[in-house]
Amino acid sequence: MTADDAPSKSIDSDEPETAAADERIYHLDGELVPASEATVSVDDRGFRYGDGAFETLRAYGGQLYEWGAHADRLEATCDAIDLAHGLSRTELRQRIEATLAANDLVDAYVRLSITRGVQPGKLTPQPVTDPTVVVMVKPLPRGGLEGKPVWDGPATLQTVKRRRIPDDALPADAKTHNYLNGILARTELHDADEALVRDLEGYVAEGATSNVFFVDEEGLHTPTTETDVLPGITRRVVLDLARKAGIPTHEDWYRPIDVRQADEVFLTNTTWEVRPVATVDAIDLEGEYGDDDTTDGPPVTTLLAKLYDERVERRCYSD
């Protein structure tokens, strides 16, 4: 984890580009504020230290998809970094829904951020008395069976030298404001749009902003969460869909060569959903890709993308 009816595509799951539109309304510390007036103090710990938690969600048809799972992960992140913000998940959801309504959006990208707020300029945090809470939304195309993907085409994946920060240094399953690891991984890319990041032992962990899957004769594979992986919500949904479809699934330790030699590779995150990969380290994979951003060749990837769309349609667009 990127525009409206005439979307401007983006490869970055966290900051989608949007076409020119009326000024967006943000939800900032309990108030709806025009984007041009929404400001955060330079003394905010989120700005000073990246000391905050966030979640990226999608709204489909006005419904917050997998809200419970996102709220669970946000709570786990806040627990991991000892950020006791004092807001209930009900209140947070109400702020998101108010922001969607203020922007007249039903299909949207949603980012919810919480920091420790303004505190004295010391590294050691103080108890949170006034957290900074920001909700921003941007329009996305409709999802589900009648929707269109937000990406321009299949991804190109490149193994990078930058390694994943180990869990012993920073909790791997915490979704924090500190994204420098992924940023530095992306700066290594040459003619590719997503980084294949390894752990310190050289095992595949994830993409800079995505989880990695591949398919071979044994079934569907994705790196185990025993390595330094942020387990995405879409990752969990796809594994569930695959198992229900009778596809053998494997969560294990893999090297980049396993991904390069696979029959199919795809990436998942909240914004991309299921995005096929055309090349890994400049090696072409099997499958042909049409001009309409759909895949003709990779059967498992195509099936899982369809099953994902069906679930979104059923849960968010059906009466």
Residue 144 per-residue DSSP state: G
- Domains of the chain, CATH where assigned: 25-139 (3.30.470.10), 155-317 (3.20.10.10)
DSSP E strands in 78-131: the ranges are 108-115
Positions in the chain whose pLDDT score sits under 50: 1-14, 18-20, 290-295
Cβ atoms of residues 2 and 140 within 8 Å: yes
Q: CA-CA distance, 90 to 254, in Å (whole number)? A: 39
Q: CA-CA distance, 8 to 4, in Å (whole number)? A: 8
How far, in Å, are 102, 112, 203, 299 from residue 71 at the CA level?
Answer: 22, 10, 29, 33
- Model pTM? 0.91
Q: CA-CA distance, 264 to 89, in Å (whole number)? A: 38
Q: Over the stretch 174-230, which tens digit does the pLDDT of each residue have?
A: 999 999 999 999 999 999 999 999 999 999 999 999 999 999 999 999 999 999 999
The DSSP annotation for 234-252 comes to HHHHHHHHHHHTT--EEEE
Tell me what pLDDT residue 21 has.
Answer: 52
Tell me what pLDDT residue 22 has.
Answer: 73
Partners of 109 in the beta sheet?
A: 58, 138
- Collapsed DSSP state (helix, strand, coil) of residue 89: helix
Residue 177 per-residue DSSP state: S
Cβ atoms of residues 294 and 151 within 8 Å: no
